[in-house]
Amino acid sequence: MIRINENYLKLKSSYLFSEISRRVNAFQEEHPDREIIRMGIGDVTLPLPSEIIKAFHAGVEEMADSKTFRGYGPEQGYDFLRETVAQNDYRSRGADISTDEVFISDGAKCDTGNFQELFSNDTRIAIPDPVYPVYVDTNVMAGRTGINNNGRYENLVYMNCTNANGFIPELPSEEVDLIYLCFPNNPTGAVITKEQLKSWVEFAHKNRALILYDAAYESFIRDNSLPKTIYEIDGAREVAVEFRSFSKTAGFTGTRCAFTVVPKDCMAYDATGNKHSIHSMWNRRHTTKFNGVSYPVQKAAEAVYSPEGKKQVKEIIDYYMENAKIIKEKMTALGYESTGGDNSPYIWINTKTDSWKFFDMLLTKLGIVCTPGEGFGRCGEGYIRISAFNDRENVVKAMEKISGL
Ligand code: PLP
């Protein structure tokens, strides 16, 4: 008899987006003539820029010619892309990352979800609340938690991110082994300073812990004093793995390309305390379970770093950040406190009421869809997330409607 992994039964159904759809569909059925503006989506709206498309096409053409055709590529990614990433995203910022420490993949979602596989089942895990749900659910599936009680899984160490701490988690008072951090943050849009990040690196050293640092929104950082990578912090090479993605940076959500940096200095321990290289383990896992990102996609990703590619990508990010500015200014003028929007595409708004109530009010009165914060964790109650990934026209129209409330 085939038996299930019963840890799956512990998973709280990811009701957030299905509940949003249910409410939006019900509203639309009742009011077929009303316009709906979706301000909750975490997906990009602008197409891939021409320089990237050009490289993508050239890669496809190479596949059509027997002289340049390629079959399986290296699982870890082609050296041309690994080297370009290591040079442009790290070494040019003074972060000492070598080409073979960069693992190209088809998404930061899979990598942030899969990385926990390397660690023992009794790993003590620190999770921010609110949180990108992938970190939690993959640990539930792996059996590292108890059941969900009132929106929180037993055996996880939740780090509350609230207005009181500026949505930056405080160092846990108990011992933890694996720490998930995400900056700029989804959903709060909060960013971390070098000083704050330094305290996490020191904490990880002290506890022989590992930080999984999700920097999927790094390209939205405007303030040059903020760290763009955790490897700008001394000592991070020994205690941190970093996840990045071309999804939001360059419009690859549907194209799929990302990378994970695993420094060779990162170590984890067996039951007798012997050190093992996390780089070697991830290399083993990646080459066993993954067969590489397609060649044309990697050529397209390489073009993100060409001078023209950089210029075009910057224009796209500037466009979304202008949306963020419009949203933030309008909500501030209306008296709503918020975080995010300055160095991130998400604006996290304190509604001073129940987040679903506010969601329903925006939907039924104005036809605007946002994301209720409660869906990201207990600390999200009372907040909504508005996304800057949208057409300007929609953003302006939505903000005009909100102003008229
Ligand atoms: N990490 C965070 C914090 C995200 O918000 C997202 C996507 O929304 C991802 C990772 C996933 O990125 P990718 O498209 O590379 O899988």
- Can you tell me which atom of ligand 1 is nearest the CA of 182? 3
User: Which is nearest to 123 in space by CA: 283, 278, 289?
Assistant: 278
- Is this prediction's pTM over 0.85? yes
Residue 18: band (very low, low, confident or very high) from pLDDT cuts 50, 70, 90: confident
Residue 2: band (very low, low, confident or very high) from pLDDT cuts 50, 70, 90: very high
SS (H, E, C) 78-134: CHHHHHHHHHHHHHHHCCCCCHHHEEEECCHHHHHHHHHHHCCCCCCEEEEECCCCH
Place of tokens 């938690």: 145
Q: Read off the pLDDT of residues 258-267 as tens digits, 9 standing for 90 and up.
A: 999 999 999 9
User: Which is nearest to 356 in space by CA: 20, 18, 25, 15?
Assistant: 20
Place of tokens 């891939």: 48
**Average pLDDT score over the chain:** 96
Q: Read off the pLDDT of residues 348-401 as tens digits, 9 standing for 90 and up.
A: 999 999 999 999 999 999 999 999 999 999 999 999 999 999 999 999 999 999
- Can you tell me which atom of ligand 1 is nearest the CA of 252? 14
Q: Does the pLDDT value for residue 9 go beyond 80? A: yes
User: Percent of the chain having pLDDT more than 90?
Assistant: 96
User: Which is nearest to 146 in space by CA: 3, 6, 4?
Assistant: 6
**Residue whose CB lies within 8 A of the most ligand 1 atoms, among 111, 112, 212, 346, for a mutation test:** 112
Q: Does the pLDDT value for residue 15 go beyond 80? A: no
Q: Read off the pLDDT of residues 332-346 as tens digits, 9 standing for 90 and up.
A: 999 999 999 999 999
Name every protein residue with a CB atom under 6 angstroms from any ligand 1 atom: 42, 107-109, 112, 132, 182, 186, 214, 216, 245, 247, 253, 258
Q: Mean pLDDT over residues 16-33, rounded?
A: 91
Q: Read off the pLDDT of residues 96-129 as tens digits, 9 standing for 90 and up.
A: 999 999 999 999 999 999 999 999 999 999 999 9
User: Which is nearest to 112 in space by CA: 45, 178, 68, 199?
Assistant: 178
